[in-house]
Structure 1
Amino acid sequence: MRSRLLLLCAATAIVSASAAVIAQTPAKHGSKEAKLNYGPNARSPEGKRYRSQPLVTSIYTADPSAHVFNGNIYVYPSHDIEVATPDDDLGNQYAMRDYRVLSMDRVGGPVTVGPIALDVKDVPWASQQMWAPDAAYKSGTYYLYFPARDKQLDKNGLGTFRIGVATSKSPTGPFKADPKPIAGSYSMDPAVFTDADGKSYMYFGGIWGGQLQRWKDGTFDPNGSDTDLMQDDKPAISGRIARLNADMKSFAETPRDVQILDESGKPVLGGDHERRFFEASWVFKRGNTYYYTYSTGDTHFLNYATGNNPYGPFTYRGHILKPVQGWTSHHSIIEHGGKWWLFYADTQLSNKNHLRNVKVTELKFAPDGSIPTIDPFLN
């Protein structure tokens, strides 16, 4: 989310015309759909057809974290709202203030938009900007993890991003937030991965507006850089990982770097904007391989790297998704119904960077475990 504006960047490569659109059944919403750029004949400003259609059109959603609970799919997105705030490098135009959960029994089936699951006014420590969340389940309890600004102002008059947790007995909420953020947490984009041994790990962080560059030594620099990271010839800033305690609400260790290596085994450099980490960590396991996936931000790719344990290091493998329409690219990946699925978002419905819509398309793997790059457009 959240950063230097490159208006409506879109992929240019052409994929086979035989590629199928994943048809979605939108939530009911009166006559709004007729006013939107929606349906298999919808076109981008460049005249291209979209690979897939928005899951829902009654609200704007982005940053989808999808999970399979009790055989059904639940998507935990951020909830975009209309604001008059101009686009800027810090993402102030992304002024989301609550969460609503999307649910479906299968990809392609009817999608239900749940009621408000959590509102910023019900989070004691938070001030604004409920950005990309994630969820987890353990022993009868659902956990919602979310970033928000606290009430301690920085040089820009904005709060410092922390990560909170809220709980519910239902996957769609309502969720009750803990009174304080997770101790030792910072930045944004929490994503929780639970391994086969039952241990859970939180991946988090985002540069530029996400403030990760201000935490170089584990202490927040209120006067630190906003966007110019000044390390093009040095190892890129890494996302973070911390194992969670059994309570799923606290870190069992000090967060550490998630290192991404190039094909020579050397750290990807800060100046390598097509491969370096920007935000939106998401981890899944296929066979014995751990896939660390993330967004490159200002170059608008979704990338993946692979490793043999949750901590990495991870070796860069390639692009998962080419640039979508709009600025941000934030995603999740799940297995359901014998297939793998990529959830992502673009700006098809609004043509505005801060009003996005969640989509899904099938993700495939080559025999060697590599992921063929997906084009979000058909032609």
Structure 2
Amino acid sequence: MYSNTISKKLFNTLLIALCAVQVKAQTATGSAAKQKYLSAPLISSIYTADPSAHVFNGKIYIYPSHDINAGIPENDNGDHFAMRDYHILSMDNINSKVTDHGVALDIKDIPWAGRQLWAPDAAYKNGTYYLYFPVKDKQDVFRIGVATSKNPAGPFKAQPNPMAGSFSIDPAVFTDTDGSTYMYFGGIWGGQLQRWATGKYEVNGSKTDLMHDDEPALSCKVVKLKNNMLEFDGKVRNVLIVDSAGKPLKTKDHNRRFFEGSWMHKYHGKYYFTYSTGDTHFLAYAIGNNPWGPFTYKGIFMKPVQGWTTHHSIIEFKGKWYIFYHDTQLSGKTHLRNIKVTTLTHNPDGSIKLIDPLAPGK
């Protein structure tokens, strides 16, 4: 009798639990089905992320990461982002068909590369197109390489060695109106920037940041490029982001401090340094009077996307401004992403209009 009562109670408990799980699953499914997005994925035949967009020869060329399902467990070091090649995409207009030009560079064709081809960027000068890319070397240290082509869609041929003096991830190359070219780079956590705080790579260094909450946050780096676009021209400097009082943002200020994914654009004579806050999932911006900085923090301009974080680029095309970014609409998985584009608006006072990527849209 006692045993039978226990069995009935256990059965009822399990039944209630099962119903609760089913309701929760149905609710989650229904919620996902109802999710609205500001923009639609630009391409669905492959997974793409970290879109660096440029206007070359009157067309938009996009240089993204190519996400794959490598079967590696997810971790804070980013090992599951195990990309092995780059595909270059192009568009005649913002709303036109996207062309996938196929593999432009494969990791097996980079002599010094070990693993993980992360977010690239591109530039043009003197009749040559340059593809800049971060990849771990044979010692598992991120370096930045460069490959060249006479065609913006590739294929690209990698230089035999990484750029001397390069480290970390996320190269973003900006050519100013006077023809000078600068590279911004760096990312903490899996991007290893914190391991270079002493000037040399610390194998057993922190996996996140320097964990000094009340000290200035780790900085993105900036360096001028030589005219050959293959070498650094001078010393690598820190990109200083300050608050309205001119004080550097602190490590503990996760909603505002730099994490990764920098970009630079110029608008009405001002330099807009934009970046991801990483673990708080915002895109933020700071404004300066020259490419070196300092840059005064102005706010966030994109709310969190679906997925862990986003990575962006900003271009002007036919008199309008656009932001390219990514989320996980197609897969729902943080390492299998899809790129998107939407309008970027500069307000009359120079601020950037806030974008909500999950607002009702396409």
Give the TM-score of the pair, scaled to structure 2.
0.90
Cα distance in 1 for residues equivalent to 2:237 and 2:150: 31
2: distance between equivalents of 1:282 and 1:378? Answer: 24
Aligned position for 2:240: 259
Q: Which fold has the larger relative contact order, with Cα–Cα distance below 8 Å and residues 6 or more apart in sequence?
A: 1
1:121 aligned counterpart, secondary structure: helix
Q: Which letter maps to 1:75?
A: I
Name whichever structure is richer in helix by fraction: 2
Equivalent residue for 2:320, pick from 339, 354, 357: 339
Equivalence for 2:80: 93
What is residue 110 of structure 1 aligned with on the other side? 97
Where 2:195 maps in the other structure, the secondary structure is helix
Find the counterpart in structure 2 of residue 134 from structure 1. 121
User: Which segments of structure 1 move beyond 6 Å, counting only runs of 4 or more?
Assistant: none
The residue aligned with 2:261 is 280
Residue 76 of structure 1, aligned match among 57, 63, 77: 63
Equivalent residue number for residue 205 of structure 2: 224
Identify the residue that residue 16 of structure 1 maps to in structure 2.
Answer: none
Q: How far is the alpha carbon of 1:86 from its aligned partner?
A: 1.2
Aligned twin of 2:144? 163
User: How much does 1:253 deviate?
Assistant: 1.2
Structure 2 residue aligned with 1:301, among 276, 282, 296? 282
Q: 1:259 corresponds to which letter in structure 2?
A: L
* Contact 1:43–1:50 (8 Å) recurs in 2: no
CA contact 1:44–1:50 (8 Å) conserved in 2: no
State the alpha-carbon separation in 2 of the partners of residues 46 and 350 from structure 1.
13
How far does residue 236 in structure 1 lie from its aligned partner after superposition?
0.3
**1:93 and 1:354 in contact (8 A); partners too:** yes
Equivalent AA in structure 1 for residue 259 of structure 2 = F
Instruction: Give the partner amino acid of 1:197.
Output: D
Query: Does the aligned pair in 2 maintain the 1:166–1:175 contact within 8 Å?
Result: yes
Q: Which has the larger radius of gyration?
A: 2
- Tell me the residue number matched to 1:213: 194
Identity %: 64
Which residue identity does 1:245 align to in structure 2?
A: K
Number of residue equivalences: 332
CA shift at 1:43, angstroms?
8.7
CA distance in 2, matches of 1:228, 1:363: 31
Alpha-carbon RMSD: 1.2
Query: Contact (CA 8 Å) 1:322, 1:373: kept in 2 or not?
Result: yes
Quote how far apart the aligned CAs of 1:60 are.
0.2
Larger mean CA deviation between 369-378 and 348-357 belongs to 369-378
Unmatched tracts of structure 1, length 5 or more: 1-41, 153-158
1:314 to 256, 271, 295: 295
Shift of residue 44, structure 1, vs aligned partner: 6.6
What is the DSSP-based 3-state SS (H/G/I as helix, E as strand, rest coil) of the residue aligned with 2:108? Answer: helix
User: How far apart are the structure 1 equivalents of 2:49 and 2:262?
Assistant: 15
Q: Secondary structure at the match of 1:250?
A: coil
Structure 2 distance, partners of 1:320, 1:348, is 20
Give, in angstroms, the shift of residue 217 of structure 1.
2.5
Q: Tell me, in whole angstroms, the C-alpha distance in 2 between the residues paired with 1:374 and 1:43.
A: 25
